Amino acid sequence: MTIIDFECDTPTREAVEDTVRLIRSGRGFDKEGYAQMMAPGWAAQLGMSLAEFNEAKAERGLTALALELCEVDLAKAMSHADVIAMLDAAGVTHACIGNAGRRASNEDVARFAAEYPDRLIPWFRIWGDEGEAGVAALEHGVKALGCRGFEISSYREGRYINDPAYWPFLAKCVELDIPVRITAGLHLLSDRPYDYAHPKHLDEVAIRFPDLRIVAGLTGWPWVAETCAIASRHSNLYIDFACKRVKHMLAPGAGYEALIYYGARNLQDKIIFATGWGTLAVPLAQLVAETDELPLKPSVREKWMGANAARVLKLD
C-alpha cells in the first residue's frame, strides 16, 4: 500500500536554524496560547518541571525559553539520512516536507528533496505580505527549486483564509498546476481572532478558483462537519488530518464524527493521511500503525493513506 505523509516534520539542522530566524523576527510560535498547550512537553525537553518552566517564563520571557529549546533541538537534529531511515521504518513511501510547523527555508527544503526525489515532495511557504515579489518568488520556487505545492497558514499572518492578499498567489498556483494547502480550524494564538482559519472561508476560495486543488489542513476542528460539507460542494477540495491521533479522532464526542462517517462514504476520495508527528511528539511509525484502528474498508483505507494524496500531487 502506498503511504504518503502529507505533513512530515523534518527536524534537521536547517529546520532548527530557520525556526530560530522566525523566532527572532517575531514570527515564531513563542506566543501565549500555544505555550499553554505545549508547556509540559517544552519543560520536559529543557529538563524542568512545569512549575519551573512557568517560573522561568515569568522571569525571562517565553522567547528566551523558545531559543533555549532550539539549542536542545539542534543538539539532536536529524541528518537527511536519518529522515529517510525514519520513513523506511514507518513504511512511508513519500513525504511532503516544508509544510510542517517547523521547517527549513524554501531553498533548504528544495535541496533536501532533490537528494531523494523519489521520496520527498517539497512545499513552498511565504508570508502573504510580499505581494508581487512574493508571487514571483513562488514561481521561482516551483520552476527553479522544484517545489510542488504552496502552503498557507493565514492565522499566523493575522489574516482570514479568504483574504484578497492571497488571490495572486492562488492564481499563480492554478497557472503552475500545483495544489495549495491551507490550515483550517481553531488556532491558539490568543492575541488575534479565533476564526481566522475557519473552514467556511474555504468556500469562497474554492468558488473563486474552481480549478485549484485545495487541501484543508488539520480538518477544520472544531468545525469538522462544516469542512466536510464544503468539501462535498467542491470537486477539488480535500481534507487532511495532520496533528490528529486516530484514537482521539475516534473518541466519542471528539468532534470528528463527520470526517469518519462521510470519509468512508461520499468523501472517501477526499481524505488525506498526514501526521505532523513533530507537533504531536509521537513517532512517525507509531502514527502510521495507529491508522489500523480506522473503521474503513481496505479499499477506502488505501485511498486515505496514499491514493488521494497521489492524485492531488499528480504522482501517477
Lookup: cell for 142: 516551483
What does the pLDDT profile of the chain (316 residues) look like in tens digits?
A: 999 999 999 999 999 999 999 999 988 888 888 877 888 999 999 999 999 999 999 999 999 999 999 999 999 999 999 999 999 999 999 999 999 988 899 999 999 999 999 999 999 999 888 899 999 999 999 999 999 999 999 999 999 999 999 999 999 999 999 999 999 999 999 889 999 999 999 999 999 999 999 999 999 999 999 999 999 999 999 999 999 999 999 999 999 999 999 999 999 999 999 999 999 999 999 999 999 999 999 999 999 999 999 999 999 7
Measured distance CA(289)–CA(282) in Å, rounded: 11
Q: Quote the pLDDT of residue 185.
A: 98
Q: Quote the pLDDT of residue 240.
A: 98
Strand partners, 94: 4
Backbone angles phi, psi at 92, to 5 degrees: -85, 120
Contacts of 14 (CB under 8 A, 6+ apart): 104, 105, 108, 112
Q: Quote the pLDDT of residue 37.
A: 83
Measured distance CA(297)–CA(19) in Å, rounded: 40
Measured distance CA(281)–CA(276) in Å, rounded: 9
